[in-house]
Amino acid sequence: MIRIKPELFAALRAGGKDAVLEALGNAIKLELATIPPYLYALYSLDSSKNGAIAQIIQSVVVEEMLHMTLGCNILNALGGTPALNTGGFVPIYPGPLPGSVEAGLIVGLAPCSTALVHDVFMQIEEPEDALSFPTALGAAPPKETIGQFYGEIKEQIAKLGDGAFSRTPRNQIGPDIMDESVVVTNVDTAVRAINTIVEQGEGTSSSPLEVVGDEYAHYYRFAEIYHGRKLIPNPNPGPKTPPDEQFVYGGAPVVLDPTGVYAAQTNPIAASYPPGSAARQACDTFNYSFTSLLNTLQLLFTGQPDRFNAALGLMMSLRQQAIDMMSGTTVAGESVGPSFEYQPTNS
């Protein structure tokens, strides 16, 4: 469960643009911090054996990138500037999620497993009012989430009013570049962007579905992996069936095949591999590519939208590097885990 430190809420509730900008910076940092753990689990999967699970995790990663983009759009519209390409912005794994989040949940880099999905990924995405749909395995009770923090940001932005925003769109990534992105120019569009972030991650208090579209929110997609079944509408709902019985984990199997998970180490660091070894070279190259991606995203989010294709190219390169490392095809049969460390030069 993610709990936000009370002092962060207190600073935000004190009001003012600076407090909102700081909160948005923390939110962007948090969105980025979830992506490497999700990618590590994704890249550990042999898609020929675990294709359905890989598809679920990849769909979440794509939307986390959208959430980071929306956070940058709001920050830019209010006159701030994101700072993605610094050593302090990249978290160290394992550890608590950044953005003034308490250390109750330790997040690391680990190959995919149902325990990882349940104990880490579902905890990250868990809504304040999680709907506990019936399964043979039972269900977890609801707990508070980052959604409350976004709710407070939304309230403070409303207090700032439209006058706090740039008169013309400032450093915005719109839907012409990234699907479902929102160009932020005033309170209404900022609220729409925040609602997209929260509802894609958590759903609503009455439905597991995102408000727009027919996708389930992240929490329920991960729950499909944990429960081993797709979430489907209750085939026999009654006129008084409550919301937490409108759906059931009773669809097609979503079973994790352990023989289709590469045996990469948990929480790797580049320094753990001998200097000059194939494993160290592969890890250093990956980290340099990862840092190059952050540099490109920094340019993308600060007024150079033409960098989007370059960012996509780097993402594809990282994917292939990671799969080659974890499958052992480029490191003499050894399964090497990419460490997602900040590395501005490649020795």
Domain extent for 294: 263-347
Say how far residue 215 (Cα) sits from the centre of its chain: 16
Query: For residue 58, which phi and psi values (nearest 5 degrees)?
Result: -65, -40
Indicate the number of domains in the chain.
2
The pLDDT-based confidence of 127 (bands split at 50, 70, 90) is confident
Say how far residue 120 (Cα) sits from the centre of its chain: 12
- The helix or strand, by DSSP H or E, that contains position 50, with its residue range, turns out to be helix 47-77
Kindly state whether residues 250 and 297 are assigned to the same domain.
no
Which one has a higher pLDDT value, 331 or 78? 78
pLDDT for the residue numbered 102? 58
pLDDT one-digit tens code per residue, 199-258: 887 666 667 877 666 788 899 999 999 999 999 988 887 778 887 788 899 999 999 999
Kindly state whether residues 314 and 190 are assigned to the same domain.
no
The pLDDT-based confidence of 262 (bands split at 50, 70, 90) is very high
* Mean pLDDT, range 331-346, rounded to an integer: 88
Q: What's the length of the chain?
A: 347
Kindly state whether residues 64 and 161 are assigned to the same domain.
yes
Kindly state whether residues 118 and 190 are assigned to the same domain.
yes
Q: Kindly state the greatest CA–CA separation across the chain.
A: 67
CA 84/CA 170 separation, integer angstroms: 17
* Mean pLDDT, range 105-125, rounded to an integer: 93
Kindly state whether residues 245 and 267 are assigned to the same domain.
no
Tell whether the torsion through CA atoms of 293, 317, 43 and 135 is positive or negative. positive
Kindly state whether residues 35 and 83 are assigned to the same domain.
yes
Kindly state whether residues 76 and 203 are assigned to the same domain.
yes
Rounded to a whole number of angstroms, the distance between the first and last alpha carbons of the chain is 39
Q: Which residue from 37, 94, 105 is spatially nearest to 267, judged by alpha carbons?
A: 94
In a domain, 1, yes or no: no
In a domain, 253, yes or no: yes
pLDDT one-digit tens code per residue, 142-163: 344 677 889 999 999 999 999 9
pLDDT for the residue numbered 10? 81
Please say whether the beta carbons of 77 and 184 come within 8 A.
yes
pLDDT for the residue numbered 115? 96
Q: Which residue from 40, 29, 39 is spatially nearest to 59, judged by alpha carbons?
A: 39
pLDDT for the residue numbered 137? 35
pTM here? Answer: 0.90
The neighbour count for residue 250, using CB atoms within 10 Å, is 17
Kindly state whether residues 175 and 71 are assigned to the same domain.
yes
The two tokens of residue 10 are 């207190």
In a domain, 276, yes or no: yes
Kindly state whether residues 179 and 144 are assigned to the same domain.
yes
In a domain, 18, yes or no: yes
Kindly state whether residues 244 and 313 are assigned to the same domain.
no
The neighbour count for residue 94, using CB atoms within 10 Å, is 14
Domain boundary among 212, 232, 261: 261
Please say whether the beta carbons of 58 and 65 come within 8 A.
no
In a domain, 273, yes or no: yes
CA 78/CA 169 separation, integer angstroms: 10
The two tokens of residue 53 are 């699970």
Kindly state whether residues 322 and 255 are assigned to the same domain.
no
Kindly state whether residues 270 and 183 are assigned to the same domain.
no
Q: Which residue from 209, 347, 338, 182 is spatially nearest to 269, judged by alpha carbons?
A: 338
Strands (E), the chain: 95-96, 106-107, 229-233, 247-253
CA 114/CA 120 separation, integer angstroms: 10
CA 135/CA 225 separation, integer angstroms: 13
